[in-house]
Structures are given as structure tokens and as C-alpha cells.
Structure 1
Amino acid sequence: MITVLIGENVPDLAFGLGLLFTRAGYRTRTTITGDATLASARDDAPDLIVMNPRLPGIDGFDICRRLRAGPATARLPIIMLSVRHQPAEVTAAHAAGADDYIGKPYDNHDLLARAEKLLHRSTPTRETPDFP
């Protein structure tokens, strides 16, 4: 089963993201700090990371850079999900290594479609669940 690591420090959003991906057929793990997100990704690499770039502790930009520097995590698909949808932040996210950047509020179907696209790109033979 495909695992999505969710790094989100707002409890309601973390719960909602977990529910969204679980209902779409994915296994999820949730972390609420940057340190926990980085440790979880390194200890048991997920198939996809969806995270807030403004996590407490290590921020999402630094997490991206650190994961891209490690051979075991360099190719993990990463989606940044943020309320700050400004060109400078989008550019910074991509420069740090994020594969996609989605502004909040987000559309559930769009988020799942982008996640599926990244999952297919990262492993062409991977089966992703259908979503509503």
C-alpha cells in the first residue's frame, strides 16, 4: 500500500488531510513538527510527502534540501501545501526541491490528482488507488 507522510502543524488540517488520503486508499502517517517530519521520512521513507513549508522547528524548505541531499530520499515526491501562495514562496519551494506547491484552501480532487501524478512519475509501474 502506498504511504503518504503528512507534515502539518495545524491539527484540524492534519486530520483532514489524513482522512482525505485514507479515504482515497492510501496509508498515512502524520507529523506536526519539521524535526518529526524529517525523521519519519528518513526512518521509513514514504511514497509521497505532503507538508506545510512553515512547520515548527526545521521548516519545510530545509526538509526538502536535506531529503534531496540523501541518496535514499533524493527522489521522494514532495508537495508543499501553504496559505502563503506568493510567487517568491512558490519559487523558494521549487528551489529547495519541492515537486509541487499548492495554496490553501485547496481543492481535494486537485490535491489527489497532483499526488497521483507525482506517484506515477516517481515509479511508473506503481498502482495508485482510484479516488472519487
Structure 2
Amino acid sequence: MTRTVLIADDEPNIVVSLEFLLKREGHRVLVARDGAEALAMIRAERPSLVLLDAMMPGLSGFDLCETIRSDPDLSGIRIVMLTARSREADQARAMGAGADAFVAKPFSTRDLAGRIRELLA
């Protein structure tokens, strides 16, 4: 079953590797480069899962996560927060904002693919 996954990240190298991984897994992939673009795509496309960079221009990933969770129409979307900030406080903030999972950069694509499979099962 093909699922739509949105990559919301402003780092081109990460977007390329995530896009390759997700397409290889059989997903339809959308890409947003900042928080505002991501929110517009989420509302228009209703992806099954969002890979969300915590630190993006404009609307941060933390703020975007809270916005998604506060909208009943979007509440079923799975959110994986990706961040280079891997302190415990950052993880607590991501989970407090409503993320389903927290993945620190750099990450293992194999581990991330497994986590995505779990969340979409």
C-alpha cells in the first residue's frame, strides 16, 4: 500500500537521502523546505507521516508539530521529529509537542526506515 510521506527539512543533502529511502520503501514523497510550506502541504495532501526537522526557517518543527496536533482534522498524521539537537530537553520538547518519534541527526537510514514502517503499520 502506497503511503504519502512529507519531508519537511531545509537541508538539501538530508532531503535527497530521505527521498531516496522513502521511494525505495514504496512511498509517495512530498518535500517542503520550511514550516509554512509544510503546513500548507499537510492541509492540502493529508500525508500519512511527516518527517519534520525541528529547526526550519519561519515556523519551527516544534511549532508545526503543535499546530498539527491541535487540529482535529490532522490528528491522525504520524510525526517523526528529526533534529541535530539531541539533548534530552530537545527530545522532551518534541514529544511534548506531540511527535510520535524523535530521531537525532545524523541517523541510520536503516533504523529510520524501520521506525517509519512501525508507525505506518
Output the TM-score relative to the length of structure 1.
0.88
Query: What is the aligned length?
Result: 120
* Residue 75 (structure 1) aligns with: 76
Query: SS state of the match for residue 80, structure 1?
Result: strand
Task: Report the Cα offset of residue 43 of structure 1.
Answer: 1.2
Query: Structure 2: how far apart are the matches of 1:54 and 1:22?
Result: 24
Paired residue type of 1:64: C
Over the aligned positions, Cα root-mean-square deviation in angstroms equals: 0.8
Query: Structure 2: how far apart are the matches of 1:60 and 1:105?
Result: 17
Paired residue type of 1:5: L
Runs of 4+ aligned structure 1 residues displaced above 6 Å come to none
The runs of 5 or more residues in structure 1 that have no matched partner are: 121-132
Query: SS state of the match for residue 111, structure 2?
Result: helix
Say whether 1:104 aligns with 2:105.
yes
Aligned runs of 1:1-132 on 2, under 5 Å?
1-120=2-121
Task: Report the Cα offset of residue 16 of structure 1.
Answer: 1.1
Query: Structure 2: how far apart are the matches of 1:6 and 1:75?
Result: 17
Give percent identity, aligned residues only.
34
Query: Structure 2: how far apart are the matches of 1:74 and 1:60?
Result: 16
